Amino acid sequence: MPAQIDKSNWTNFAPALVDRKQWSVVIAAAGRGSRLGFDLPKILFPVAGRTILEWLLRLLLPYCETVVAVVSPDGRTVIESELERLAPGRYKIAVQETPTGMGDAVAIGAAQVTSAHTAVIWGDQVAILPASVAAVLRLHQGPLNPDLTIPLVVRPMPYIHFDREKGRIERLLQAREGDRMPETGESDTGFFCFKTQVLRELLSKLKATPEAMGAKTAEFNLLPVVPYASRNGYEVLTPFIMEIEETVGINSAADAERIEPFLRERCDG
């Protein structure tokens, strides 16, 4: 693997186009809209004239053959109705019966994937640019042949940080788990790519280890997969090709207001 892949060199390691038939995307969409003062599933919250779900489908369907939405039992009917309207014949529904963490949600979704590769996106990450999605997918299916491709950004006061030793990711630090965080860190972008079989294998192996569960949250999350894979011989590609602005998730009304101009500009463009 190259020492670092960024905007200056990533095209040297990527095919010209995304092969859509190789891709499915798992959208973690089981969240509620309560923090937004919204009584429907969070993914149906309207931002800049469209629901979050519609923004995500516009972002992902050009590059992924099938969408697998992981939903709560209460949210299934209304989300499925919207998927039938917006993406007929190109979606599947997976139900997370209890909110036990994103690792479980992704495992439930990945069980329904039949394509060679799986993208995963959090159900509130509407700010990611289409060009960034295409770049990450192209890198993942390119000649470097990684098992997982995790685009990162360097940010001040990180909520998440992947800690390295000799260039290799060794540990995950999380503010919400009470870890001591650095002033500047390498954070995820809410978007991840895997070889599908590797994703299933990693989640199964990780869940059997003590690091699978958060120390404070007691949830099984996806992010610990990254250092686990790195330490256990999997090829982990971590390109730095996104901007921090693309990583803003919608967790509050203020987040939605902040993202609206960005989305309207993208739509107009």
Q: What is the residue extent of each domain of the chain?
A: 16-268
Q: How confident is the model at residue 5 (pLDDT cuts 50, 70, 90)?
A: very high
AA letter at 102: M
pLDDT tens digits, residue range 46-82? 999 999 999 999 999 999 999 999 999 999 999 999 9
The tokens describing 170, both together, are: 């060794």
CATH 3.40.50.1950 for domain 16-268: no
pLDDT tens digits, residue range 159-217? 999 999 999 999 999 998 899 999 999 999 999 999 999 999 999 999 999 888 887 78
| Strands of the chain, DSSP E | 23-28, 46-47, 50-51, 66-71, 91-95, 117-122, 148-149, 152-156, 160-165, 168-174, 184-188, 191-195, 236-237
AA letter at 240: F
Rounded Cα distance between 128 and 213, Å, is 28
Question: 51, 58, 59, 57: which is closest to 69 by C-alpha?
Answer: 57
pTM of the model: 0.95
Rounded Cα distance between 160 and 172, Å, is 7
% pLDDT > 90, the chain: 79
